[in-house]
Chain A
Amino acid sequence: MNSIIEYFTDLFKGLSSLWAGMRVTGKYFISPGAIVTQQYPENRKTLKMEDRFKGEIIMPHDENNQHACTGCGICEMNCPNGSIEIITDRVPNAEGKLERVIDKHIYHLSMCTFCGLCVKTCPSNALAFGQKFEHAVFDRSKLTKVLNQPGSSLKKEAKK
């Protein structure tokens, strides 16, 4: 007799546990407000990434097309993957001395792991993280970027 009672209590416990699960899914079925999916390409206008989001590495330029990079090469040295290459040039300044300026600050996005060491170690805060994240391109060479804009120069006040 006990085994029969056990048989039926097992059965009803089992059924009620199934019903508990169905209540959860049923609750979400009748409350479509719980949908969490973001409509990504449509919400491009309103989509705002966090300020610290590591999308890519950029070199901020001010309105005079000037940046803060002195071409010291610390970011290149600190990068674990060799995604930064700096090509410097020496040009004479007003006093006639040869001065180091960057010719090209090359950034290989394809090799970058976004560890953030270049941004952290830059002594003149010339680098920053950009929020752009749509990096898909059809040609790998397009992932190699030159960060300093053409014709840009060094911010004078950055040089102490």
Chain B
Amino acid sequence: MSEEIIKDVMVGENEDYIINMGPQHPSTHGVLRLEVCLKGETVKYLIPHIGYIHRGIEKMCEADTYQQLIHLTDRMDYLSAHMNNEAVCLCVEDALQVEIPERVKYIRTILDELNRIASHQLWWCAFGMDLGALTSFFYGLRDREHILDIFEESFGSRLLHSFVMPGGLMHDVHPNFQKRTKEFIKYFRKKLPEYDQLLTGNIIFQNRAKGIGYMSRETAIGYGVTGPSGRGSNFACDVRKIAPYGAYDKVQFNEILGTGCDTFARYQVRMAEMWESMNIIEQLIDNIPEGDYTAKMKPIIKLPAGEYFRRVETARGELAVYVVSDGNKTPYRMKFRTPNFSNLFVLNTLASGHKIADLIAISGSLDLVIPDIDR
């Protein structure tokens, strides 16, 4: 009986060695299941199975008003919760054609970048841990704590802060916000070189990451791989540059592009983005204009009938929101184009022909957040 079941599960040929990586596996970062076919230690192919944490966020959004559905978007890519919130808000603001105050734009942009740094820090910890350097995990979390403390002071929550509302912000930022953000930047500018000493320069790390998981620019575009993973393959896909939102049109920053196309290039892009995010914050933090923290909004938002689309750059790539409204207070249909969904399915192309250990490194370098894939 059980023999037959095993036979059914094995999809490959008889001599194939098939292992199920996940849904409970230390380095699939959640409940992702990879069906990996091995030949010795080498990965022949892999099939990702998703849906273990599907909550039906898109469907749930159809029952909520536009203010209410904000808190659901937090739970997609929980590491860039702020950007997710902002995507929906921008879409609603577009539809209503409200002019949001400058102050809101500045604060949103600063929070975007703080959130991006926090997310990249967590990625760095987890990536180091995937490669077996456990100490990096604690150093990353230690520094991330400073950002989370800033968030906690201003929004009251550390990770899932439904802080952005259609039309503005939930409430104004804490009076200490500017001071603490500047303190953090000063602190982190000292700590970030330590990351390089511990991991980037390390010969073992470089050998593990260089030349692994080659993703050509064509592959990246073909699969729709965006964010730092796509930019590591020289694919200029930064929404902050292509279609600036918030205060991104008022700051000078570089779009980090890597040319290596491998795991190490993706790593370097993320490390450089942390520096770049700090530059953006420094340009904005002293110039936050005075003003209201929200535009005048009606208590019940009804979007005019029609279709609306907005995209933002989250820490992992391009998040697009597509709303169909029939004029009611709830959306008729809500669709999220989440970055991780596209980033996951390139994994088979990248990892085939590499060792198991490389598969872990490659999936780590794509920085997958599983709830974002399943929604």
Contact = CB atoms under 8 A, between A and B. Distances in A.
Contacts of A20: 197, 201-202
Contact of A50 (B145, B153, B197): B153
A79 B64 CA distance: 9
A117 to B, nearest CB: 6
B72 interface: yes
Interface stretch (B155-163, B250-258, B316-324): B155-163
A117 B152 CA distance: 17
Interface of A: 13-15, 17-18, 20-21, 23-25, 36, 49-50, 52-54, 78-80, 113-117, 120-121, 129
B156 A21 contact: no
B129 interface: no
Contacts of A52: 152-156, 174
Contact of A25 (B69, B145, B160, B198): B198
Contacts of A25: 135, 198
A24 B145 CA distance: 20
Nearest to B60: A80
Contact of A78 (B67, B162, B171): B67
Given A14-B203, A52-B154, A120-B171, A21 B160 contact: no
Given A50-B152, A53-B156, A117 B67 contact: yes
Given A20-B197, A21-B202, A53-B156, A36 B145 contact: yes
Contacts of A17: 201-203, 206
Interface string B40-79: 0000000000000000000000001101111110000000
A20 B204 CA distance: 12
Contacts of A129: 156
A50 B156 CA distance: 7
20 contacts: A13-B203, A17-B202, A17-B203, A24-B197, A24-B198, A36-B145, A50-B156, A52-B156, A52-B174, A53-B156, A78-B68, A79-B68, A80-B64, A80-B71, A80-B72, A113-B162, A114-B156, A115-B70, A115-B162, A129-B156
Contacts of B67: 78, 117
A119 B219 CA distance: 48
B39 interface: no
Contacts of B156: 50, 52-54, 114, 116, 129
B213 to A, nearest CB: 22
Which residue of B72, B157, B170, B202 has the most chain A CB atoms within 10 A of its CB atom? B157
Interface in B204-233: 204, 206
B199 interface: yes
A21 B197 contact: yes
B16 interface: no
Interface string B156-198: 1100101001000011001000000000000000000010011
Given A14-B203, A53-B156, A116 B142 contact: no
Nearest to B68: A80
Interface in B227-286: none
